Structure 1
Amino acid sequence: MHSIKKNKNIRLGSSYVLLVVMSILIFYPLAWTIGASFNKGNSLVSTTLIPKSPTLAHYVELTKTSGSFYYFQWFLNSLKISVVTMVLSVALVSVTAYAFSRFRFKGRKNGLVLFLLLQMIPQFSALIALFVMAQMLHLVNSHFLLILIYVGGQIPMNTYLMKGYIDSIPVSLDESALLDGAGYTRIFLQIIVPLAKPMIAVVAMNGFTGPLGDFALSSVILRDPKSYTLPIGLYNLINDKMGASYTLFAAGAILISIPVAIVFILLQKNFVSGLTEGGTKG
């Protein structure tokens, strides 16, 4: 009995140690970024985790437009692209997943396999082709083209994941609704969508955060400084050999995390309910 209790305490202690280590690995870089944004100067060498003389100068500097620096224009560009990508991704993925889950049609199985295979191709392998396509369509610097590319990239894997979630929803609910005279559209909107909210929240979160963190695709399509998204603009802040500003970069990075936090808080209820329901079913 004593041995069992001792082993249980060791496992519990190991779990706490692991959680502490993971928390440090996650929060320490974030703490440094926050601290750097309040430090004076532009170099990381002179910054400290806790600023000796905190200043808001870098946040004030972000509001200024000079030369090729348009921080809030980049901020708005990123938000616009992310929000539209999120909405279109949720709409298209939900409909596609519903079709693959509930209907039987020619090419269904091959379509699912194709979705999986598409995930094996690295995104950067298509950069040259996408740039050539943008030039041919005269859509260089087009946010519309970038949104279409992002949405297209969201569909395969998210469809596969949501299809699996919809499969867990009893088909008997659809059959009962059909007997009551409901059509497939009504079944989708009033039965499938409400029950699939946890997975829809995941798709929405992926659709919103994906464009915010993307640099490779956006840097190929967007060449005009005013059309930049934040990853491109912030990268240029630390890529300038003559005037690199790591502290200004830190301030800009902290501000863009605010919309992500807001979206996560709005969707958090669905994440939690999904986990709770999954635990109850298990």
Structure 2
Amino acid sequence: MSKHTEVKAQSQGFLHDQRKRRIAADVATYILLGVLAVIWLLPIVWIFLESFNKNTAPYQSTFFPTEYSFDSYIGLFTDRKVLDFPRMFLNTFIISIFTCLISVWFVLSVAYCMSRMRFRGRRSFMNLVLILGMFPSIMSVVAIYFILKAIGLTSDGMTILALILVYSAGTGAGFYVMKGFMDTIPISLDEAAMLDGCTRWQVFTKIIIPMSKPMIVYQAITGFLIPWLDFVMAKVIARTQENYTASLGLWLMLEKEYINTWFGRFAAAAVIISVPIAILFIVMQRFYQESMSGAVKG
């Protein structure tokens, strides 16, 4: 066998071994991803099927239900004497909608000021916000409660307003991501618009906001999900069931006196709570894709 033939055979063997290793790595990757997908989807499938379980007891002999019915969904909205879940759901929806709108406006305004304006104390303010963001928000729960109590916002009729203020007030501090996006928008567009007679307000509303749609979508989703999923702040501020949010309602359903009769309804409520989140993601994804395609075309 010539030296050239031997080298060619060795290279073919190396390529063959490399191909085997690549196939083995791909198989191992897909197996791992499949196992992780099952682990991730199994609780979701289980809670969805459990919401249709005719047996509402929390402890059962089988993992999946054996009999199915809509009793949990029907009872969740018709039996309002013990736990008024529809009222809790409505409270949460109102709080989340207003928080979403206010937070988007706050973040846009602060990010625009930090990105486009230069003023004394700007860098110090940004550093201060960055440092404060390193501390968990739960540290301020007690202080926030006593501030709200001092101004009379912890009474039954003011709880929803108090929660909207609490969730919205600090959102402007989360301007860093939005500011980073606005920094990528050429400032020459602002200058050209001002030369044509536009004011800063017109530049902000006619140029910056339309070009920031992807980040507006992100902030809208974040602003909606924070009050929708929060438990700690709602638990501290809301004192009666009339002012409870959906997360507090779910927590009550697992209490000792309710769990045996409300566990099926707990599963049904968990499914219902996920519906607005899914709708929000679907709708916002469409706007995100449209804004990104428009940006590419521009």
Do the structures match in fold with TM over 0.5? yes
Q: For residues 47 and 103 of structure 1, what CA distance do their matches in structure 2 show? A: 65
Checking the alignment, whether the CA contact within 8 Å between 1:118 and 1:156 is kept in structure 2 is no
Matching residue's letter, 1:182? C
Which residue, out of 264, 267, 277, partners 2:281?
264
Out of 113, 124, 140, the position equivalent to 1:126 is 140
Does 1:28 find its partner at 2:45? Answer: no
Per-residue deviation at 1:25? 2.9
The runs of at least 4 aligned residues of structure 1 exceeding 3 Å deviation read 1-15, 47-50, 65-68, 270-278
Distance 1:29 1:183 in 2: 53
- Report the secondary structure of 1:254's partner residue: helix
1:187 maps to 203
- Write out per-residue CA displacement over residues 180-232 of structure 1, whole angstroms, 9 at most, x where no aligned residue: 22221111112111111111111000011111110100011111111110001
Change (3 A) 1:169 1:47: farther
Counterpart check, 1:165 vs 2:165: no
Residue 43 (str. 1) matches residue 57 (str. 2): yes
Contact 2:95 2:160 in 1 (8 A): yes
Task: Return the alpha-carbon distance in structure 2 between the equivalents of residues 7 and 277 of structure 1.
Answer: 43
The 2-side partners of 1:275 and 1:187 are apart by 20
**Per-residue CA shift, 1:131-160, capped at 9, x if unaligned?**
212221121141111111111232222x11
Secondary structure in 2 matching 1:121 = coil
Structure with higher Rg: it is: 2
Identity of counterpart residues, as a percentage?
34
Q: Which amino acid aligns with 2:206?
A: Q
* Secondary structure of the corresponding residue to residue 78 of structure 2: coil
How far residue 128 of structure 1 moved from its aligned partner, in angstroms, is: 1.6
Q: After superposition, where does 1:60-79 map in structure 2 within 5 Å?
A: 60-79=74-93
Distance 1:269 1:15 in 2: 31
Mean Cα deviation higher: 249-258 or 107-116: 107-116
- Cα gap change, 1:70 to 1:165, in 2 (>3 Å): same
- The CA deviation at 1:275 is 7.3
Q: Secondary structure at the match of 1:63?
A: helix
Aligned length: 277
| Higher deviation after alignment, 133-142 or 269-278 | 269-278
Shift of 1:274: 7.0
Counterpart of 1:228? Answer: 244
Which letter maps to 1:94?
Answer: L
TM-fit CA distance, 1:4: 4.4
C-alpha contact (below 8 Å) 1:34/1:254 kept by paired residues: yes
> What CA deviation, in whole Å up to 9, does each residue of 1:20-73 have, x standing for no partner?
233223211111110111112333322755432111100001112444411111
Query: Which of 160, 176, 179 in structure 2 is aligned with 1:143?
Result: 160
| Cα distance in structure 2, aligned partners of 1:7 and 1:225 | 60
**Which amino acid counterpart does residue 169 of structure 1 have in structure 2?**
I
Q: What does residue 178 of structure 1 align with?
A: 194
- Distance in 1 between residues matched to 2:294 and 2:285, nearest whole Å: 14
**Aligned partner of 1:55: which letter?**
S
The correspondence for 2:258, drawn from 230, 243, 262, is 243
Q: State the alpha-carbon separation in 2 of the partners of residues 64 and 33 from structure 1.
A: 21
Structure 1 CA distance, aligned partners of 2:62 and 2:204? Answer: 54
Structure 2 counterpart of 1:155: 172
- Structure 2 vs 1, CA of residues 182 and 58 (structure 1 numbering), >3 Å: closer, same or farther? same
